[in-house]
Amino acid sequence: MILHFVATAPAKVNLHLGVGEARADGYHDLVTVFQSVDLWETVRLSVDTRAPRVTQGSVVTGMTTSFGVKRPAEDIDTPANLAWRAVDAVVDAYRRIDGAVSLPRVSIEVEKNVFVAGGMAGGSADAAAALLAANAFVGHYGGTTLSRDTIVDLAKSLGADVPFCLMGGTALGAGRGDEVVEMMSRGLYWWVFINPSVPLPTGEAFSRLDDLRHNDASVVPHLNTTTLSRCLLTGEPRLVARALHNDLQPVAVAMRPQLRALLDFAADCGLRAIVSGSGPTVALLCEDEEDALDARDRIEAAFDGYEIVCAAGPTTGAREVLEY
């Protein structure tokens, strides 16, 4: 018999991304506001119940990703994939509690609906979903699951955006963005996400911002989210649109100049367009669903070959899927 353990996790958009000082560990302190949006990554662990069990080493036999978005050139189904690393991390943590636990081996399937390397935390959502699926798996064979605190600690160790993908909703992120606390927000916000599919390495964007600040004292961190949090309480997309901000946007545009034309065109189709996270995806906030669908059609007609999707937020965070 084949058993499945399944979980799903949402993408995110940064309503505010303030980048502070570079830290000794190579990261930057952030003050960011996350919103989860209803684009979901699904992770399924499949277990052949007749297969022999193991008490050490990785339980993962392999992984397969199916793409609802553009497939990247390189193979991502490797042990370096965050979903694979998340399963290994849960099993290792479980063995630290119960060293004798004997587990069957699993294969991982990821259903991708979030742009790859787009600045919307698709890889982090995979990790968050894989943590929950793997916790259900060790719970089934070991009798107890890891605590929520342990899962959150593992999430932090996997990547800065993983704790938010677990949590979902609207949240303020501090530290590397991994110290998250829920924020109050009213209403539903409709977005169009446009991915020009040009590589924009996150680490390079951050170091370009350091250079820019080094050479120009007027480029300062924006670490105050008071106006945005007030706007989120109104539930008015028009007010939230005005309060959107991303410190990385100038460097993203400098690195990939085609973003300028996309940002300008998109802004004319909705309330406000900004670069999502470290890019290259552009996020356009719209008044409502109808406006978002219209904006999508207009942008699609103007920009050939770009990936475009509409989505609303906030949503819940990662959750186990019991019926699949």
SS3 content of the chain, % helix, strand, coil (to 5): 35, 30, 35
Is 26 among the residues that bind ligand C5P (CB under 6 A)? yes
Query: Which stretch, 22-30, 85-93, 240-248, 267-275, contacts ligand C5P (CB under 6 A)?
Result: 22-30
Note the Cα 197 to chain centre separation in Å. 17
Is 177 among the residues that bind ligand C5P (CB under 6 A)? yes
For ligand C5P, what does the binding mask look like between residues 140 and 169, x meaning CB under 6 A? Answer: -------------------xx---------
Query: What's the length of the chain?
Result: 324
CA distance 160 to 175: 9
Query: Which stretch, 27-35, 125-133, 185-193, 302-310, contacts ligand C5P (CB under 6 A)?
Result: 27-35
- Of the two residues 200 and 286, which places its CB atom closer to ligand C5P in the complex? 200
> Residue from 79, 187, 199, 203 that binds ligand C5P (CB under 6 A)?
203
- The residue whose Cβ lies closest to ligand C5P is 203
Other Cβ atoms closer than 10 A to 14: 29
Closest CA to 193 of 304, 296, 69, 83: 296
Read off the tokens for 259: 């973003």
The catalytically annotated residue of 112, 126, 161, 178 is 161
CA distance 212 to 205: 10
CB-count exposure of residue 188 (10 Å: 0-12, 13-18, 19+): middle
Is 265 among the residues that bind ligand C5P (CB under 6 A)? no
Instruction: Please report, as ranges, the residues that interact with ligand C5P according to CB under 6 A.
Output: 26-28, 30, 159-160, 176-177, 202-203, 206
Which residue numbers are catalytic?
Answer: 12, 161
